Every structure is written in C-alpha cells, then in structure tokens.
Structure 1
C-alpha cells in the first residue's frame, strides 16, 4: 500500500467520484488514478467503489471505512511534516479557516491584521460558507480550522473551543411600525411580522424556532440568507424584520435602519473555533487562536486537544469568562 494510492482514493471521493476532475486537481492522469485504485483494491481484496461500467457511482461499505482511515493517515502524514517544520524553525505555512460571512466580515479583520504583522510569511485563507458547507470543507481537507456558531453536533470529530458570545437584534427601516419602540416587541407581536434572517434559522433545532415554539408561536420567516449584508438589503426593501447578529449593524453605514435590542427575546449564542483532535498545531496556529480569544492560551488549547471528549473540553472552560462581542443597539426613535 502506498500513500499515493490513499491520496488518489480520497481525491476521487472529494471530487464527487469524477476521476477526470480528480486527476486535474491532483496533477496526474485519469488512467494513473484508475490503475492505482485497482492495485489498492487488489491488495486489500475488497471493492472500494460501486461502479456502473467505467463510471464510479459511490463508495462501498468497505470503501467508506477505508476513507475514514485514509483521512487519519493523511492527517498524521501532515502532522509529521508540521513537526519537521517546527523543529527546523520554519515560519512559513498556511492557515485555512472555514467560517461564515458574519465572522469574516465583522469579527476577523482586526484579528487577521494583527496576525499578519506577526507572521507575514504565513498565507491566510478564508473559506466562507454555511455551516453545512463548512462541514464539507472540513471533511474534504480544505480547511484546518472552523469558526461557527451552529450546532456543535454537526462537527463531532473536532475539539471545539469557545471564542465569544453574542446577542441578536431586530432591524427595521425608520418608517416601520416597530421603529417607535426602544426595544424589540414580545414574540407574540413579532410573530405577526415577516422575518428576514440567517439561513437554516427556519429549522426546528434553531434557537430562533425554539424560542417561538416555547411560547407555542410560529414565526413568519419570509427570507433567509447567509450574508448579513444581504439581510440588511432586504430589510431596506421592506421584505421583513431583520433578525441578525448585533455586531453586523455598523454605525454610519446602517444609520438608515433602527436596531432594536432583542436580548430579552432570544438566547445568547456562543461562537466557537474547532480543529481536528489528531492535528499537531504549529506555533503560528496557536498564535492565531490566542489572538482570536485571549483565553485560548497554548496551554489551554493543548489541554483541550489531549482531552478524551468534548465534555472534558467544556469542563476546562467552565470557570473561564467568555467575552461578549457586542455592538449594543442604541434606541433610534423614528424621526430622531
């Protein structure tokens, strides 16, 4: 068995079983990939792919298990390379982060600016998407870290570290009926208005839906988007009441809208950063985490990586004060 064969196996899977595309992305030939996969199957004595003629359709049960082990092997190979780089004192590398628009647009810029000054030779790649898309990026090895606020159950194989907490606001045009109030209305009144909010907020497990369900109410979600700027655009068009992160409301550019404090309506959320438990973090990666959140010290991060499960990780931060990333909505009464 060769590492190249495992690499080709994962390449075919990550390119939707299209050998031609996999060959292009791996800088090799289609016949070369097909031959190496056949040799791997012959050596293992099992079929890894379900085939229809010359076309690969999916993984067999054995193939699914082989892919899991293959990803672990390639991660350990990368760990050995990282160890060698650290021992040689190399400062070059890349940091690939999968995150949402809100984090990339409103939270990360000053963090990355400071990081780049400290590590100018490190390439920083931000991959934006929904939580489901980010999970796919992680599965295919396109990112080293994820930074999201979504359900942690979607990322069971990660060490998940709390970064900061945040609240939501309601956003309306200045001529909207709700703009007269200094804070958001009760949920019963809000349920009478169409809402514009983040994608997946209409799912039963979302905190927004749970808040309404707890009062036997059903929100009228008219539009969802993954981009806070898109949400604000449709709020301006009068499509509905915006429900979004408070840090996404910017003084100056959003002064035509009224932000209503919704802390009494919706639960406070926690954004977390995660990485694979079997990853060997380099010094510049540890520096990024500590710049992202001061309580993510190298000692705490290493202790979290060595923890047996996420429950032990959570216990490490039980007494840590997680900061609140807030852009407090000031009452903006209509006509003021």
Structure 2
C-alpha cells in the first residue's frame, strides 16, 4: 500500500464519485483511478466503497478506513513540515495561533515573556477556530496555540490554563437585559443563536448545561464564530452563550449577563505538538503558570483555575 492509494481513496470518499475525484482533485483518468481503488480494496481485503449509478458511498469498513487514512496523511504532512523546520536557519521563529478575539488578553503577556527568553525571535500570528488550530499543531504549522482541548488529535498535548465561565449575550434593548442573571427557563423561551458551529468542545459544554438545567437549546441561527454570533444576536433579537473572554468583543448594542443555575465552564488550553523540538517552546511551557497569573492580574475578566 502506498500513500497515493490513501490520497486517492480520501479524494473519492470526499467527492462522492470516481469521475469527480479524478477530474477535480487528482488530475488522472477515471479508469486509472478505478484500478487504484480496486488494488487498495484487494490489499485491505474488504470492500471500502459501494458503486452506485450516481456515484459511490462508503461501506461500514470504508468509513473506519477513511478516518485512519486521513490521520495517516496528516501525520506524513506533519513529519515533512517538521523535517523542513529542522533544516531552516537557527534564528528563533515562533508561530502562534489564537481563537478569534482571545489574543487581546493573552498576546501582550506572552510577548513580554518572549522578549525575555528570545529578544530576536520572529513571531507569526494566526486566528482560527479551535479545530483548525489543533490540526495546524498536528501538521507542524504552529508551535503553540490557545484553543480548546480537541479530541482525536494525534501527537498534540493540551495544557489546560483556565476554565472559562459561559455568559449570555443579548441585545441591549432586550426585555431580559435589565436582569443581572439569565434563568434557564427564560433562555429556553428565546431565539437561540449558536456561537459554537465550528467548536465541538464548546457545543458539548453548552448542551451539557442545557441537559443539566432541563431545557432544550435548538439554534435558529448559527454564527461562524463568536463575533458573527454576536452580530446575529443584535440583528435577530436572540440570545447566545459564549465564553467569558467575549466581553472584550461586545458591540455597543449587545450586553453580557451571567447565567443562573450553576455556571458552565469551557476549558482553555495551551496546545503544542509533542514532537516539536524547539527549545524556545520548552522554555515558554515552563513559564505557563506565570503567563496565567500575569493575565489574571492585568484583566478585569476572572477565569476559574483548573483543578
């Protein structure tokens, strides 16, 4: 079995057809691609695809194989990037990733520590969703990232920095805006705007909270991220649940309120790839507790310390 077999199989599975995958993704002919897939199935020993008139579907074995094939390709990409980084010049370079809006609180204190550890370091910065940041760490595209502890991310270590309470955001002129806390029963009667469409960890926390307090939260609208969710809140009159740091991003026409019924929290973690050889990364990790303390001292936002 060769890597090209895995790439071909993933392309066919994602495109839903041999012809589409051959033309759009692989720059090869359909007969040639069909032979490669048959060779792969022969080596695996079970059918991976069901051929149909309008394309292909995965068998149960194919679905399992797809997950492992994707992971194998990601690991090869990470190994390649790691080798390239090792061969680059020795000037310190650190690539950092943040959840959108989180850099406002954490970046200034992180840069202060960086200046002490490596004054000549070159820094690159990106803001993405938590799953995207986790994949970038696994692929060797980032050195560190501030994100959620994502599941099934091979080789990535998540060091929990804090537990972020969730809060409700709602329009400033909403009938519930005069309250200090939003009760679960009131929340259930309002238009719910999801802020977690691209964050499965946050989504799980919100659903666990809803289940615990006995309500159902079915989103009528879903934002791509917290910023877009708050825009939807302002335009639809709905309510969304977001991590506490989102208070830094509030527009004038949106307010934040605490949740009644036991405040749910979502973990904020510092992620890094276990195989990353950077000495600077190791020095930063050794000062993670100091970083958390500095952020707490400089911010009006109070996190819950991890156990």
TMscore range, shorter length:
0.5 to 0.7
For residues 72 and 191 of structure 1, the distance between their equivalents in structure 2, rounded to whole angstroms, comes to 39
C-alpha distance in structure 2 between counterparts of 1:32 and 1:95, whole Å = 40
Q: Tell me, which stretches of 5 or more residues in structure 2 are unaligned?
A: 115-119, 303-307
CA distance in 1 between partners of 2:225 and 2:49 (Å): 38
As a proportion of its length, which structure holds more helix? 2
Aligned length: 281
* 1:289-336: CA deviation from partner (whole Å, max 9, x where unpaired): 958x95399xxxxxxxxxxxxxxxxxxxxxx9897697649xxxxxxx
- Pairs within 5 Å for 1:215-226: 215-217=213-215, 223-226=221-224
Q: For residue 243 of structure 2, what is the aligned residue in structure 1? A: 245
* CA RMSD between the two structures: 5.2
Tell me how far 1:235 sits from its aligned partner: 3.2
Deviations 1:174-218 (A, max 9, x none): 43343334x2144455555544343469xxx84445445444455
Change (3 A) 1:290 1:241: same
**CA deviation after TM superposition for structure 1 residue 155, in Å:** 3.5
SS in 2 for 1:179: coil
Deviations 1:145-169 (A, max 9, x none): 897548x5x5375645124432233
Aligned-pair distance for 1:270? 0.8
1:57-76 map, 5 Å: 57-59=57-59, 61=61, 63-64=62-63, 66-67=65-66, 70-71=69-70, 73-75=72-74
Distance 1:94 1:8 in 2: 34
For 2:9 and 2:55, the matched residues in 1 are separated by 15
User: Unaligned 5+ residue runs, structure 1?
Assistant: 98-102, 298-319, 330-336
1:168 equivalenced with 2:166 (yes/no):
yes
TM-score of the pair, normalised by structure 1: 0.57
Deviation at 1:106, TM superposition (A): 0.4
1:106 aligned residue = 101
What TM-score results when the alignment is normalised by the length of structure 2? 0.61
1:206/1:87 Cα in 2 relative to 1: closer, same or farther (>3 Å)? closer
Structure 1 residues 130-209: aligned runs within 5 Å: 149=148, 155=152, 159=156, 161=158, 162-181=160-179, 183-188=180-185, 190-191=187-188, 193-199=190-196, 206-209=204-207
